[in-house]
Amino acid sequence: MSLTSALSSVNTPTVLAVLAWLVMGKPLTIAAYSYWARRNAGSPRRVFRGAVVTAEQSRWEARSLVLVLTDASLLLVLITTDVLRLGPDTPGRILFTTCAVGLWAEVWFYFVHRWMHATDLGWWIHQHHHRSIAVQPLTAASFSFCEKFFVYTAAWQLFLAVMSRFVPVSIVGIALHYTFYFLTSPLAHSNIEPVPAAVAELPFNLGKILGSATGHALHHVRNDTNLGFQTTLLDRLFGTYATPTSDDRASFKGAQP
Ligand SMILES: [Zn+2]
Ligand SMILES: [Zn+2]
């Protein structure tokens, strides 16, 4: 099936705009968060004060930015081969698509992330991301090809493709899922905690449902904690949720690969 005929039943300019957003979105949000993190480098909101990012770390992290091409490339293939079926972008379909892939990404990532930290093969796939102990927004791009392609791109899009055999999915819903990821992933790696203490201390841990810069910075220091993707729910359910102790904050100083 040609690109034109595959896209004829949907809004072609929207599809092309979404493909462009999948390429440009993460570099743009990483750039914006990097500017914000630099401005807050001396702020009391900084999680690990002793965190030092080297120029060499920035270089290997920046090299991984090329992997943003996997998302648009695979999505283009799945749409043009009619493996992933798109439907009209009604509000209901947009909401359903975003929620379904978001829920899948959360559950999938938690268990695959546990596996990657517990097995030799998993660690071989994931260790590139953990070369960075001191995190910065650019760390959000730092993956091996295997991790980026199989754990994120293919896992999300093949789930959407299977789902679309039953209910055609929304291209806008797909874009919203990616946008949430583009906004939250560099923030989680910023080492700057934007959530005010008053929110974090709400009763019943209500302020700690979403993942945070503090939680993910701790994961880069203590790899067996905070394995969730966008929320802390599965970490709290399975006992892997943790907050930094004063020892964590003190012992971090000077820790570099
Ligand atoms: Zn990370
Ligand atoms: Zn990890």
pLDDT in tens, 21-63: 999 999 999 999 999 999 988 888 888 888 889 999 999 999 9
Ligand 1 centroid–CA 73 distance in Å is: 24
Ligand nearest to the CA of 189: 1
Residues 213, 34, 64, 135, Cα dihedral to 10° = -40
Ligand 1 centroid–CA 219 distance in Å is: 7
Its pTM stands at 0.91
Q: What is the pLDDT of residues 127-156, one digit of tens each?
A: 999 999 999 999 999 999 999 999 999 999
111's tokens: 């268990």
Residue 165's Cβ-count burial label (10 Å; 0-12, 13-18, 19+) is: exposed
Ligand 1 centroid–CA 190 distance in Å is: 10
Query: Packing angle between helix 171-188 and helix 213-221, nearest 10 degrees?
Result: 60
Ligand 2 centroid–CA 236 distance in Å is: 16
Ligand 2 centroid–CA 113 distance in Å is: 6
Regions in the chain scoring below 70 on pLDDT: 1-10, 204, 206-207, 251, 253-257
Ligand 2 centroid–CA 140 distance in Å is: 12
